């Protein structure tokens, strides 16, 4: 029986990091039907990097912004994106591949493997038990939780050397445990670490275990890599400390073990020129393949090379089999190019400037947001299906003043799409701060901004989306997207995700403890609030933990994002970045 062309793809790219996004972009731009499958968060490991300064043509950015642009480029060229786990690949006799996913099977000519690598767990005693409560893997996300404390860094490579220097911004002292007799990274990178007066380095040393007290980690067991001798280590001030693990990465290649050849460490072996494996039509790109340098720039190069050769393979396979997939014909890129060719320059004049101060919506208009941000906000506001009202509940603290000004400016830029109402909380402590009960599933903690919409009767109703503090820093994008999701149409969801959201029939409270410097927090906030926007049984409220130490202490938070989920009276605590599908998994586990 012939395979229906509508159900067939020229190429399937597995993995949504820089390599996969680049491969998808190149394939889709060449008008091949391309599916990009990612199990977690599009962007890959680079999204936890706060400063990217070595990507050609970009002076400085962060990993999330860089890969967000890559994702948009791939989509604009017509690539299809799907959130799912890939469980295996079969190669049929005619060379057609069947990619098995948790959302169904996909038939394709070519496959680009770009699953990347994940942080390696060292395996010391207590590593899993205290993850999020003293053991961390992201300095940018969790460094501030160890301000004034000692920190152990495990690793001797590039990441360990660089991140140990970053951690000196917060830590009282950083001790690096290097298993070898020297760092294994470039000497110039290690030199900065060795010269830093706040860093001690212990060579030939391994971490074998950690012990915890009531307030955190209090002791560690170290092992001499040469003699095997063990000794107990504690901070000089006998306080608590943190452990940051930077021990390299593990290639995510288990699904292709036995399908394509791997080396002894699990990395994919492939042709160094074409990046094709020994299986015709299956290519490897990015950190999962055997290579000398693993950087975002080499990942994007791999993606482009693999895509070009996958294009050639798909074209030949289409001729050989007679199967012609239904390829993209009207993409965003093509529409924009067509509009640019047909649009004539508009004749415009500059509006007169009023001398009346009262004509200005707020005294600080455009003081907070730069031109690029205002342009992005204009695009978001123009796509909102209905107006949204932002409800502020303020206390007498400077943070409330900051939130009030922040929301005023946001409203002034919305062209009437946003409204604002503000109230003063009644419970004030001696510091002018609104008192709250930290034991509640979603404690009322001022200042807070909540997203409201009008129902069919014109009444303002809550959407379940709130932010306690000022949603700036990395949380700004998630807050704006929360507004967009509440207003509709909202960010796209798969049919499966939408169905799972609709099946939540009892109250679920999701407390999201975040930091404005955390690069993993926004995705988790977006995921929870996307669910809340669609289902009134779900409330998802984010708290800037820097301003609510009662919550940090109650849940012993030493890593963000921290998710406190309450359903049917049962409370569950989890840590780490979550996609919509993963957040739904957490909710369903509590059922």
Q: Name the residue ranges covered by the structural domains of the chain.
A: 6-118+250-328, 135-247, 357-589
pLDDT string in tens for the chain (591-residue length) = 445 466 799 999 999 999 999 999 999 999 999 999 998 778 887 776 666 777 899 888 878 789 889 999 999 999 999 888 899 999 998 899 999 998 889 999 999 999 998 878 889 999 988 887 889 888 877 888 899 999 999 999 988 999 999 999 999 999 999 999 999 988 988 999 999 999 999 999 999 999 988 778 999 999 999 999 999 999 988 889 999 999 888 899 999 999 999 999 899 999 999 999 999 999 999 999 998 778 899 999 999 999 999 999 999 999 999 999 988 877 887 777 666 655 544 333 333 333 333 333 333 333 467 777 888 888 899 999 999 999 999 988 899 999 999 999 999 999 999 999 999 887 677 767 777 889 999 999 999 999 999 998 889 999 999 999 999 888 998 999 999 999 999 988 888 899 999 999 999 999 999 998 787 888 899 999 999 999 999 999 999 998 998 998 898 888 889 999 999 889 999 888 888 999 999 999 876
Q: Which CATH architecture has domain 6-118+250-328?
A: 3-Layer(bba) Sandwich (3.50)
Pairing of strands 117-119, 249-251: antiparallel
Is residue 526 a contact partner of residue 482, using CB atoms and an 8 Å limit? yes
Closest C-alpha among 87, 79, 95, 92 to residue 12: 79
Only one residue has tokens 């995921």, namely 527
178's tokens: 């290097």
161's tokens: 């050397």
Query: What is the pTM (predicted TM-score) of this model?
Result: 0.59
Is residue 393 a contact partner of residue 448, using CB atoms and an 8 Å limit? yes
Q: What string of DSSP letters covers 10-60?
A: EEEEE--SHHHHHHHHHHHHTT--EEEEESS-TTGGGGG-S-B--STT-SS
Is residue 26 a contact partner of residue 307, using CB atoms and an 8 Å limit? yes
Q: Is 546 exposed, middle or buried (0-12, 13-18, 19+ CB in 10 A)?
A: middle
Closest C-alpha among 416, 370, 581, 390 to residue 483: 390
465's tokens: 């989306």
Domain 135-247 classification at class level: alpha beta
Burial string for 400-425 (b: 16+ CB within 10 Å, else e) reads beebbbbbbbbbbbbeebbebebeeb
Only one residue has tokens 């007679």, namely 322
Domains 6-118+250-328 and 135-247 share a fold: yes
Other C-beta atoms lying within 10 Å of the C-beta of residue 487: 22
151's tokens: 């920190």
Distances (CA, A) of 256 to 109, 259, 267: 16, 5, 10
CA–CA separation, 308 vs 311, rounded Å? 5
357-589: which CATH number, 1.10.3720.10, 3.40.30.80, 1.10.1270.20, 3.40.50.300? Answer: 3.40.30.80
């Amino acid at each position: 029986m012939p395979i229906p062309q509508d159900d067939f793809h020229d190429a399937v790219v597995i993995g949504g990091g820089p390599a996969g996004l680049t491969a998808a972009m190149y394939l889709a731009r060449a008008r091949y039907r391309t599916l990009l499958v990612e199990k977690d968060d599009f962007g890959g490991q680079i999204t936890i990097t706060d400063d990217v300064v070595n990507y050609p043509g970009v002076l400085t950015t962060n990993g999330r912004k860089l890969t967000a642009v890559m994702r948009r480029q791939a989509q604009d060229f017509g690539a299809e994106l799907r959130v799912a786990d890939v469980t295996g690949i079969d190669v049929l006799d005619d060379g057609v591949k069947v990619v098995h996913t948790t959302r169904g099977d996909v038939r394709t000519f070519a496959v680009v493997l770009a699953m990347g690598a994940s942080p390696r767990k060292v395996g010391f005693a207590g590593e899993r038990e205290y993850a999020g409560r003293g053991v961390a893997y992201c300095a940018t996300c969790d460094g501030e939780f160890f301000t004034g404390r000692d920190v152990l860094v495990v690793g001797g490579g590039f990441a360990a050397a660089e991140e140990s220097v970053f951690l000196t911004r917060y830590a009282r002292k950083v001790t690096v445990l290097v298993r070898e007799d020297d760092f294994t990274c470039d000497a110039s990178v290690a030199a900065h670490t060795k010269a830093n007066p706040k860093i001690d380095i212990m060579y030939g040393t391994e971490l074998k275990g950690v012990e915890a007290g009531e307030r955190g980690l209090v002791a560690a067991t170290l092992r001499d890599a040469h003699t095997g001798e063990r000794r107990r280590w504690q901070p000089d001030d006998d306080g608590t400390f943190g452990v940051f693990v930077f021990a390299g990465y593990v290639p995510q290649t288990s699904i292709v073990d036995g399908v394509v050849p791997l080396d002894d460490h699990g990395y994919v072996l492939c042709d160094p020129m074409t990046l094709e494996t020994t299986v015709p039509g299956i290519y490897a790109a990015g950190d999962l393949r055997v290579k000398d340098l693993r950087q975002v720039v080499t990942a994007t190069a791999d993606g482009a090379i693999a895509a070009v050769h996958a294009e050639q393979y798909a074209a030949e396979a289409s001729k050989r089999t007679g199967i012609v997939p239904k390829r993209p014909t009207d993409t965003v890129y093509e529409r924009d190019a067509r509009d640019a060719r047909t649009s004539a320059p508009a004749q415009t004049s500059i509006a007169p400037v009023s001398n009346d101060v009262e004509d200005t919506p707020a005294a600080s208009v455009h003081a907070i947001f730069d031109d690029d941000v205002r342009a992005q906000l204009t695009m978001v506001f123009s796509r909102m299906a209905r107006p949204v009202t932002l409800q502020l509940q303020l206390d007498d603290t400077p943070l409330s003043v900051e939130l009030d000004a922040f929301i005023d400016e946001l409203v002034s830029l919305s062209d009437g799409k946003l409204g604002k109402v503000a109230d003063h909380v009644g419970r004030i402590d001696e510091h002018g701060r609104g008192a709250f009960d930290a034991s509640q599933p979603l404690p009322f903690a001022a200042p807070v901004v909540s997203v409201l919409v009008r129902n069919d009767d014109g009444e303002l109703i809550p959407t379940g989306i709130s932010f306690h503090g000022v949603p700036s820093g990395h949380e700004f994008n998630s807050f704006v997207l929360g507004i967009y999701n509440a207003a509709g149409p909202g960010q796209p969801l798969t049919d499966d995700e939408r169905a799972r959201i609709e099946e939540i029939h009892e109250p679920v409270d999701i407390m999201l403890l975040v930091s404005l410097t955390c690069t993993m927090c926004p995705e988790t906030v977006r995921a929870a609030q996307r669910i809340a926007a669609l289902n009134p049984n779900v409330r998802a409220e984010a708290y800037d933990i820097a301003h609510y130490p009662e919550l940090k202490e109650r849940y012993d938070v030493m890593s963000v994002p921290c998710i406190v989920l309450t359903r049917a009276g049962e409370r569950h605590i989890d840590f780490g970045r979550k996609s919509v599908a993963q957040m739904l998994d957490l909710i369903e586990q509590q059922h």
